[in-house]
Amino acid sequence: MNDKQAKLIEEYIVLIPERFRKLFIDIAAYAVSLGYNPIRNKTQDLSIDFKKNKYKATIMKMGLKESVHDGFGYGERENPDLRLRFFASDIYSDIFQNAIKNVIEEFDGKYTGCYGCGRCHGELEGYTYIYPDGRKVFRCGRELIPIFDYDGSTVEEIKRLMNEQDNFYREKDCI
């Protein structure tokens, strides 16, 4: 990590609650090790996208405050915002499965399916959530998925998902 990247991440880390600092330092450093550059967004609150210019892809976003999802029981919390792109993986824990479900249900299923942007090469690139009744709902993979209920125990899974997503981009050399 170069000095500029380290300063940006440190500027962010000191603004989040202490109990999340190690987790966010670990995953930020891992994203940088994969070649994703932390870029400050031009927003009122500090948020950082981790982008790889070669693929024109953002793999992760960190913000100061997570979205409020009262309908899902999260309410107003002081947790930092964490958003990931991980559609390349078919295997992940309930935390990530629930995150996909939350995104689908947040807008009453309005923003599901393929948008027809033409960026997928071959198969559709996105998430499929399967409800208990067998109904399948597709969510475009271009969107970052807000993750809730993360903690230190999810660091290795987050790293694995980022690695699989990065491998997907390297293999496809697309987007």
pLDDT, greater one: 74 or 115:
115
Confidence label for 68 from pLDDT (cuts 50, 70 and 90): low
3-state secondary structure string, 100-139? HHHHHHHCCCCCCECCCCCCCCCCCCEEEEECCCCCEEEE
Q: Residues 78, 29, 159, 21: what is their CA dihedral angle, to the nearest 10 degrees?
A: -20
Q: In the prediction, which pLDDT does 112 show? A: 81
Q: What is the mean pLDDT of residues 35-60?
A: 92
* Chain centroid, CA 78 distance in Å: 18
Q: What is residue 103's predicted lDDT score, i.e. its pLDDT?
A: 85
Say what the pLDDT of residue 175 is.
43
Residue type, 20: F
Q: What is the pLDDT of residues 77-136, one digit of tens each?
A: 788 999 999 999 989 999 999 999 988 888 777 778 777 777 777 788 889 899 999 999
Reduced to 3 DSSP states, what percent helix, strand and coil does the chain have, rounded to the nearest 5? 35, 20, 45
Q: Where are the domains of the chain?
A: 3-172
At 74, is the pLDDT very low, low, confident or very high (cuts 50, 70, 90)?
low
pLDDT band at 66 (very low <50, low <70, confident <90, very high): confident
Rounded to the nearest integer, the mean pLDDT of the chain is 88
Cα dist from 105 to 3, 9, 57, 112, 139, whole Å: 41, 32, 25, 10, 11
- Averaged pLDDT for residues 43-57: 89
Residue 141 one-letter amino acid? G
Question: In the chain, pLDDT over 70 holds for what percent of residues?
Answer: 94
């100061």: which residue's tokens? 64
Q: Is 129 in contact with 137 (CB distance < 8 Å)?
A: yes
Does the structure show a pLDDT above 90 at 72?
no
DSSP letter for 40, please.
E
pLDDT for the residue numbered 69:
56
170 or 44, which is more confident? 170
